[in-house]
Amino acid sequence: MKFNLKNTIGTLALLLSQAITAQFYIGAQSGIGNIQSDVSVAEEGNRLGAALKAGYIYSLTDHIGIGSGVEISQYRQIVTLNNPMTVLKSYEVDESTSAFEYNMSATNYKEKQTLHALQIPLFLQYKTNINKGIDFNFRAGAKYFLPLKYKIEAKASKINGTAYYPDVNLYIDDLPEYGFGSQTNYSASGEYDTKGIIMSMFELGFTFDMGPKNSLYAAMFLENGHGSILDQNADKSFVGYNPSSVSDRKANGLYSTDKDAKLRPVAFGVTLGWNFK
């Protein structure tokens, strides 16, 4: 292909002019953020979430612009058993390769969950001036939500794991050296396996001119995930099976009991930002 210096310079000039006219922003948001699930045995409690963001908005017209950027967010919540008397069943294989039903119960079970995620938004912005130095803004679009780490810190005053071998009609409830029995003051950490999904996003707010090239942005936001961030191919016990001891049992988490569980992030709250040209 013949190199055309004139066209290349023209293209670079066009890209540079677009970058110069773009409005850049940095900001933070905070509010209620949780991971909603359809796992019937789990009950979630809302906690404060937060995010840091940076990006730009390119003006297509005086009122319409298109924006993108990058965000780092954090979701936190407490998850408990909705029925303390629940006994959850899973299927395991012992060291002799014999399959059995693993029945796990827990007293005062609680998971402290923390999710960190990378988000890449793409949105349209509508703005209009409503008073001197004050603009009304509405943003709507989508985000690619990529979980970076979904950590579990599980605790219970007591856990109890028993086994039933259907082939020989054998029930075992107290054989610690083979991983069956109770443990008090259980504490363990783990992670959920995750995947990326798409979120819808909406913001409604105002910008206040703070100078010829700077403005303060304040808004309310709502974000809703579509699809499930859980990436798991088999059901698991929420407290893992240890074939050699009743101690050191892994925290798989309540959401791991259903490989088809739908876990989606939902958040709403306020955004504060700083726009500059």
- 45-86 per-position pLDDT tens digit: 878 889 999 999 999 998 999 999 999 999 999 999 999 889
Question: Residues near 202 by Cβ (< 8 Å), separated by ≥ 6?
Answer: 138, 139, 140, 221, 222, 223
Contact 80, 43 (CB under 8 A): yes
pLDDT in tens, 206-239: 999 998 889 999 999 999 999 999 999 999 999 9
pTM: 0.85
Model confidence at 2, pLDDT cuts 50, 70, 90, reads very low
State the pairing for strand pair 181-191/87-93: unpaired
Q: Which domains does the chain have, with CATH numbers?
A: 23-276 (2.40.160.20)
Q: What is the mean pLDDT of residues 9-38?
A: 73
